Amino acid sequence: MPSDRLTPRQEHDLVIGAEAGDADASRKLVEAFLPAIVGVAAHFPTAVRVERQELVQEGVAGLLFAARRYDTSLETPFWAYASFWVRKSMQELVAELARPVALSDRAVRGLALLGRARSEYLQAHGSEPTDGELSRATGLTRTQIESLQATQRRPRALEEPLDGAAEAVATVGDTIVDPVAEREYEQVLDEIEIDEVRDLADELDARERRVLRAHYGLGEPVQTLSQIGGRLGLTAERARQIEVGALQKLRERISRAAPVRANV
């Protein structure tokens, strides 16, 4: 299902922009294909309970991965290509959630201690203990008790009745604003973090960044090395040396060799 919000040319340009690390292009691409991703999530087969929002977020990650991999010169339409990676991302989330929580020995002992304390309190008082009473009985802090109880808590499904009754008049799903139904894509988009590609310039110190950005007009007007040197209190030649050094630093960072020991 292609995006009906974009022309083929627009889609093409956004994919290339997203691949190059353009955050704006990434966001627009996600915005355009979010209905398709939501559609995949809505019908995604899963034997475990998983929040639809989580599936959509994974689907977005899959879409952006596809954009970084997709060759626009090939004939496969982008969504036909990307939908595989969208579904794969969702599958991996479901597979991850289907795994039982692996508890440490210490956590297992903590849960056993909690279980015994709860049982003893119930027998003695005929009611459920509060977290404070459990804390006093076991010596565990309330934070520890909450963490241990969370490992036993299953995520609530959209279909689950609110009051536990067999015939509920409302479900958990009814209380959650449906971003699709209310077309609140903006809210969904805001909650989905689009990781910006790390800027190569982040590897440099502040002065090196200033020189490169100013000399090549990266986010600011282009300046000559003389102008740059003047603003930094340096000669043009010194500014040039800083630039050459910065480029060399980046080169070495990218091309660092492995420390192979000679006696292996």
Partner 1 sequence: MEMSSEDRGRHGALLYESQDAYREFAVPFLSEGLEVGEGAIVAHTRPGLAMMREALGSDAAHVTFVDVSSAYTRPARTLASYHQVYVEQLGKSPSLRVVADVQFGLDPAEWDLWTAYEAVFNRSFEHLPAWVVCTYNANGTPDPIIDGVWRTHPEVHAGDAWHTSDRFEDPDELLGELTPEPRPLSGLRSIGFGRDLEEFRDGLARVLAAEKVSDTTVLDMLLAATEIAENAIEHGGGVADVRVGHADGRFVCEVVDRGEGFDDPTAGYLAPRLGVGRGLWVARQLTWRLEFFAAPDGFTARIWL
* Nearest residue (CB) to partner 1, 158 versus 236: 236
- Applying CB under 8 A, does 256 fall inside the site for partner 1? yes
Give one DSSP letter per residue of 91-158, joined into a string: HHHHHHHHSPP---HHHHHHHHHHHHHHHHHHHHHSSPPPHHHHHHHH---HHHHHHHHHHTPPPPPT
d(CA 113, CA 259): 50
Q: Which of residues 21-40 bind partner 1 (CB under 8 A)?
A: 21-22
Q: How far is the CB of 79 from partner 1 (least distance, A)?
A: 12
Residues, the chain, total? 264
Q: How far is the CB of 75 from partner 1 (least distance, A)?
A: 7
Exactly one of 5, 42, 72, 156 binds partner 1 (CB under 8 A); that residue is 72
Q: Which two tokens stand for residue 148?
A: 């241990």
AA letter at 137: A
Please say whether the beta carbons of 6 and 32 come within 8 A. yes
Please say whether the beta carbons of 49 and 216 come within 8 A. no
- Applying CB under 8 A, does 106 fall inside the site for partner 1? no
- Applying CB under 8 A, does 69 fall inside the site for partner 1? yes
Stretch of residues binding partner 1 (CB under 8 A), selected from 127-135, 154-162, 186-194, 196-204: 196-204
User: In sequence order, what are the beta bridge partners of 171?
Assistant: 161
Give me the residues that bind partner 1 (CB under 8 A), please: 12-13, 16-17, 19-22, 61, 65, 68-69, 71-76, 81, 84-85, 89, 92-93, 95-96, 99, 102, 197, 199-201, 212-213, 215-219, 222, 240, 247, 250-251, 254-261, 263-264
